[in-house]
Amino acid sequence: MNLKKLLKVTGLVCLALMLTSIPLLGAGCDSGNKVKVGFSICYTGVAAEKGRPMGNAKLDCMKYINEELGGVAGYEIEVIWRDNEYNAAKAATIINELMDAGSLLFTTNSSAMMTASATTANREAFPGFAVFSTPSLTNPPQHIYAQMPDYGDDWAAFANYYLDNIWQGEGKPKMALHLLNNSTGAGARAAAELLAEDMGIELLPIEEHDATTISEIASLTRIKALEPDVLYISSTPQPTSIIIKDAVDLGIYPGVTIGLGHAGITSQLIELAGADVVEGVYGVYPTVNWDDDVPAMEKMKEYCLEYHPEDYGNMDYITSWAEALIVVEILRLAIENVGVDNLTPQAVEEYGFKMLDNFDVGGLHGPVSYTEGDNRLSKSVRVFQITSGEISPITGWIEAPQIPYVFD
């Protein structure tokens, strides 16, 4: 529907509602009939291949919520969003802008941008959650939450799967880690260093890379000399594609098993690296894929195809459609418990976030609950494998138990 038609229809709806004394149900009819949320999105910058489809999804879903469902509890949701450009300094500024604009809660796509925002958010008791998270954001639990299992949970799930289903050698398998030099990599490192010895895995010296890397030949040459059995990469799609292509060029892969954290295993990786290059690569991801028959899939596909068909098939879009549904449920719970006139960020945290109890995001990922002492809201993942250019699940849902981290 074009803007002129939308305005006409909206005006008619408002008039009809006033004439019949029916309570107004959002849809922008009353500019004061709104609740505000803030989104810090990496639409541009070095992680745009992830941030753009995620931003598109949450804004598409909010459009659906407001225009088809009448908002939340009769109130339109006003979205205040900013492009953080995957830049920590910019993200730290944006968090203040979102608070100043009256947002009741906020989200970020990435753990890195949430890390840049968390000090201010925790100090001001301004609640938010990261779609993709790292253990240091929620340990110890403060005012930041993780939508789904974090990068440490990814590593633990993959390591267990590898030991149970792939490793057939004698003694301990040797695992190399190639990690993005921010919280995306730090989460996997924290879990590996805490758990590997007890699991029976020998960790090789860890290599790091940055988000703008154009070659990892030198680091992979060092890894190759140590004769690893498995290479685990926790990074975003662009650098992950470089690492895997270089591993192929050096004759490391095929040969070793490659596993990925959920930041890296997306359709964008396949496009960047080439389907033949990533054939057989494993990864952990916390959502369903586009072929799964779950209740929320039909509406999500409808909006994706209408507004952002270029994102169709990208599982990052799924994560943020679910993100928007969770935001709406948090607001609904808070309004139900304290009333819209009493909404503050602190009330939204206490009576929204902390009241989440087995909320179903239409089957897009595991149920969402708040558990005291554990600020991860969903706690299950699946292992996938890339075959013939498709990312296909090879396990059912795997519960991610809380890992006993201790951070300074």
Work out the mean pLDDT of the chain and round it to a whole number.
92
Separation CA 95–CA 318 (nearest Å): 24
| Model pLDDT, residue 33 | 81
Supply the pLDDT for residue 111.
97
Q: Identify the pLDDT of residue 291.
A: 87
Q: Angle at the Cα of 391 (from 159 to 158), degrees rounded to 5?
A: 5
Query: What is the Cα–Cα distance from 350 to 307, expressed in whole angstroms?
Result: 35
Determine the distance from the C-alpha atom of residue 193 to the mean position of all C-alpha atoms in its chain, rounded to a whole number: 23
Task: Output the furthest CA–CA distance in the chain (Å, rounded).
Answer: 79
Give the pLDDT confidence score for residue 82 in this predicted structure: 98
Instruction: Please report where in the chains the tokens 């596909």 appear, as a residue.
Output: 301
Q: Which residues of the chain have pLDDT under 50?
A: 1-31
Q: Tell me how far CA of residue 277 lies from CA of 7, 233, 243, in angstroms.
A: 50, 15, 11
| pTM (predicted TM-score) | 0.89
Distance, CA of 45 to CA of 51 (rounded, Å): 9
Q: Render the burial of 174-197: b for 16+ CB within 10 Å, e for the rest.
A: bbbbbbbebbbbbbbbbbbebbbe
> What's the pLDDT at 31?
45
**Residue 142 to residues 127, 139, 271, 348, Cα–Cα distance (Å):** 9, 8, 38, 14
pLDDT tens digits, one per residue of 342-401: 999 999 999 999 999 999 999 999 999 999 999 999 999 999 999 999 999 999 999 999
| Nearest CA-CA partner of 101 in 82, 118, 87, 116 | 82
